[in-house]
């Protein structure tokens, strides 16, 4: 019998939470003194990595204060990090930092080519320092969360192998972000075995995931990235509903051959005719009733994900549908805590570039209403790294700033000199609707065939209670007017360099289709793909 078989989800959850109390207490205490917390964190990391190649290049041993660090170490993007990553791939050690790089975490962000982020035990600890207070806070709000399994979205593995790299590329699953000990506990409470990531056939992947989840009447937590991932999962139930019910009732698994032989044993289950009968009575379209004990759904809830998050909240009135914080492969920026999204001040060191003046601010210097680009220093060798995320300070929790994600600073369309940025487009779209009413899909798509250039306003049919062509064209006109607040766009429109905004009405499932297509085109993991509000012509 596997060791994990002796652990039920309740015990694993309880042990995970118990191991998280210390980190949660440190985070809560740090909220009152972000400046001191951040200064201490930075000094510790500079001392630890002073003898690395990067540390010697910038003389970390001589840096005593933040001002020394900011003066000596330049701001940089991945282009500045990549030469050091290549050295690590060739087998060099102590390059960006002194810790052992266990593997590279591949990411492409919202745009651009693949990046390889060095991952170390210290970076695992930084993720745990943010996840621990988040989970403790969730358990405080929903104590019943502890009593059953959770679904932490598992995406099919993308092709990431590189025989020339001395360091492995890619995670086994997202639990690895927390380090081996915590990851083991998380896996004992998973509603879907992580081995599903090995399934290459898309339909088999969805079917296996659904089968595992349908067998778990006691499911308590669903954690996905973009809400469209959950929408895709549910949509696939209709395609194979009879087969799923039969598999639950009989204990069969018609998709078992899609799994590696080594993983097939953990997917076998006893027949459960009572559960199959219950699901048959509920039907494939009333999915909230599949899991009567569901407590929490966690997903992105800002920018392009906001409408999907609102739909889930409306569909699940008795469930806490929580908006995730701002997380990147490079590190956690914000986390849900006490009903807000405070900065993860015990996880990384943060600086912020003022979007108006360009001045550099520290965490304790942010002002409500101001906008900033996030600069991150993590414990794995990224120093003054420009994440490319634009945020707005929405206030403070104790003395620590709370932030709202606005968009990517590097996602800019420039067909004819107009330079439309994703945060600007997101704000223009937000102005079209009032209150909580917004369509399932609303984005701006660039079109350029050489002779004609312009933009398409892609919006779903559920844009209003009165879905008429007249109301849709009025929305397009208002959006065009809002975009003209950018003087370069206004000039290009006036000169005829950009044709008038074209309206494209799509179905409410457009975002699901776009996610799947984007993942296939980029050979990315399905759960990593972020639908964009501004889609460039080259996408």
Write out pLDDT tens, residues 428-485: 888 887 655 678 788 899 998 877 889 999 988 765 444 445 577 888 899 999 999 8
In 361-503, alpha helices (H): 422-430, 469-483, 487-494
Percent residues over pLDDT 70 in the chain = 86
More confident residue, 29 or 64: 29
Place of tokens 């460039």: 536
For residues 111 and 74, give the distance between their C-alpha atoms in angstroms, rounded to a whole number.
23
Express each pLDDT in 196-233 by its tens digit.
Answer: 888 888 889 999 999 999 999 999 999 988 787 888 88
Express each pLDDT in 22-61 by its tens digit.
Answer: 999 999 999 999 999 999 999 999 999 999 999 999 999 9
Contact 283, 246 (CB under 8 A): no
Contact 60, 50 (CB under 8 A): yes
Place of tokens 């081995």: 195
Say what the pLDDT of residue 187 is: 77
What would the mean pLDDT of 487-509 be, rounded to a whole number?
84
Contact 378, 99 (CB under 8 A): no
For residues 52 and 33, give the distance between their C-alpha atoms in angstroms, rounded to a whole number.
30
Place of tokens 């989970």: 135
Whether residue 173 has pLDDT greater than 90: no
Give 516's pLDDT tier (boundaries 50, 70, 90).
low
Nearest to 309 by CA among 298, 318, 317, 319: 298
Whether residue 111 has pLDDT greater than 50: no
Say what the pLDDT of residue 101 is: 94
Give the 3-state secondary structure of residue 106: strand
Phi/psi at 102 (5° precision): -80, -35
Express each pLDDT in 392-421 by its tens digit.
Answer: 999 999 999 999 998 888 888 888 888 888
For residues 480 and 502, give the distance between their C-alpha atoms in angstroms, rounded to a whole number.
10
* Count of other CB atoms within 10 angstroms of residue 502: 13
Express each pLDDT in 322-348 by its tens digit.
Answer: 999 998 889 999 999 999 999 999 999
pTM of the model: 0.83
Percent residues over pLDDT 90 in the chain = 56
Say what the pLDDT of residue 174 is: 64
3-state secondary structure 363-392: HHHCCCCCEEEEEEECCCCCCCEEEEEEEE
Say what the pLDDT of residue 172 is: 58
Whether residue 120 has pLDDT greater than 90: yes
More confident residue, 374 or 180: 374
Say what the pLDDT of residue 511 is: 60
Say what the pLDDT of residue 469 is: 54
Strands 502-506 and 453-460: parallel
**What is the average pLDDT value for the chain, to the nearest integer?**
87
Contact 483, 427 (CB under 8 A): no
What would the mean pLDDT of 524-531 be, rounded to a whole number?
54
Give the 3-state secondary structure of residue 488: helix
Contact 280, 245 (CB under 8 A): yes
Say what the pLDDT of residue 537 is: 65
What would the mean pLDDT of 479-498 be, rounded to a whole number?
87
Q: Rg (Cα) of the chain, in Å, rounded?
A: 24
- In the beta sheet, which residues pair with residue 413? 420
Which residues, at least 6 apart from 282, have a Cβ–Cβ distance to it below 8 Å? 289, 290
Whether residue 182 has pLDDT greater than 90: no
Region of 257 please: left (phi>0), alpha (psi -120 to 50) or beta.
alpha
* Count of other CB atoms within 10 angstroms of residue 32: 12
Q: Which of 127-131, 307-311, 327-331, 378-382 has the lowest mean pLDDT?
A: 307-311
What would the mean pLDDT of 507-535 be, rounded to a whole number?
59
Nearest to 347 by CA among 27, 25, 21: 27
Say what the pLDDT of residue 254 is: 93
Q: Which of 123-132, 292-301, 339-348, 527-536 has the lowest mean pLDDT?
A: 527-536
Token pair in block for residue 349: 């060191």
């Amino acid at each position: 019998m596997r060791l994990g078989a002796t652990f039920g989800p309740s015990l694993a959850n309880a042990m995970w939470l118990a191991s998280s109390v210390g980190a949660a207490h440190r985070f809560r205490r740090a909220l009152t003194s972000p400046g001191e917390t951040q200064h201490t964190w930075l000094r510790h990391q500079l001392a630890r990595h002073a003898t690395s190649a990067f540390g010697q290049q910038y003389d970390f041993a001589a840096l005593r204060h933040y001002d020394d660090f900011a003066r000596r170490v330049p701001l940089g993007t991945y282009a500045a990090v990549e030469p050091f990553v290549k050295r690590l791939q060739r087998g060099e050690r102590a390059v960006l930092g002194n810790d052992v790089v266990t593997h590279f975490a591949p990411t492409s962000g919202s745009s651009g080519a693949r990046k390889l982020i060095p991952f170390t035990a210290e970076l695992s600890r930084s993720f745990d320092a943010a996840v621990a207070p988040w989970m403790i806070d969730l358990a405080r709000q929903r104590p019943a969360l502890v009593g059953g399994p959770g679904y932490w979205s598992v995406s099919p593995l993308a092709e990431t192998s590189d025989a020339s790299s001395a360091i492995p590329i890619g995670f086994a699953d997202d639990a690895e972000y927390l380090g081996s000990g915590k990851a083991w506990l998380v896996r004992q409470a998973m509603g879907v075995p992580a081995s599903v990531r090995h399934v290459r056939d898309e339909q088999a992947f969805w079917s296996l995931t659904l089968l595992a989840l349908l067998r778990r009447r006691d499911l308590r937590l669903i954690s996905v990235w973009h809400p469209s991932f959950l929408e895709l999962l549910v949509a696939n139930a209709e395609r194979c509903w009879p087969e799923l019910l039969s598999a639950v009732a009989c204990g069969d698994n018609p998709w078992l051959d899609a799994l590696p032989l080594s993983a097939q044993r953990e997917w076998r289950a006893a027949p459960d005719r009572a559960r199959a009968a219950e699901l048959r009575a509920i039907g494939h379209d009333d999915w909230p009733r599949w899991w009567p004990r569901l407590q929490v759904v966690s997903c992105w809830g800002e920018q392009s994900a906001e409408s999907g998050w609102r739909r889930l909240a409306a569909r699940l009135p008795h469930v806490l549908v929580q908006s995730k914080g701002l997380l990147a492969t490079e590190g956690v920026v914000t986390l849900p805590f006490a009903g807000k999204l405070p900065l993860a001040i015990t996880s990384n060191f943060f600086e912020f570039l003022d979007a108006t003046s360009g001045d550099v601010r520290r965490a304790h210097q942010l002002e409500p209403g101001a906008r900033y680009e996030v600069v991150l220093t993590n414990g794995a060798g990224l120093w003054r790294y420009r994440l490319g995320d634009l945020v707005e300070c929405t206030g403070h929790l104790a003395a620590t700033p709370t932030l709202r994600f606005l968009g990517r600073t590097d996602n800019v369309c420039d067909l004819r000199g107009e330079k439309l940025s994703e945060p600007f487009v997101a704000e223009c779209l937000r102005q079209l609707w009032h209150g909580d009413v917004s369509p399932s899909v609303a984005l701006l798509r660039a079109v350029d065939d050489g002779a004609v250039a312009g933009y398409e306003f892609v919006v779903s049919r559920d844009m209003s209670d009165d879905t008429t062509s007249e109301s849709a064209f009025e929305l397009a006109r208002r959006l065009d007017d809002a975009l003209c607040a950018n003087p370069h766009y206004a000039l290009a429109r006036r000169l005829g360099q950009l044709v008038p905004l074209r309206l494209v009405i799509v179905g409410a499932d457009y975002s699901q289709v776009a996610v799947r297509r984007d993942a296939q085109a980029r050979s990315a993991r399905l759960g990593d793909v972020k639908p964009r509000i501004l889609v460039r012509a080259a996408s």
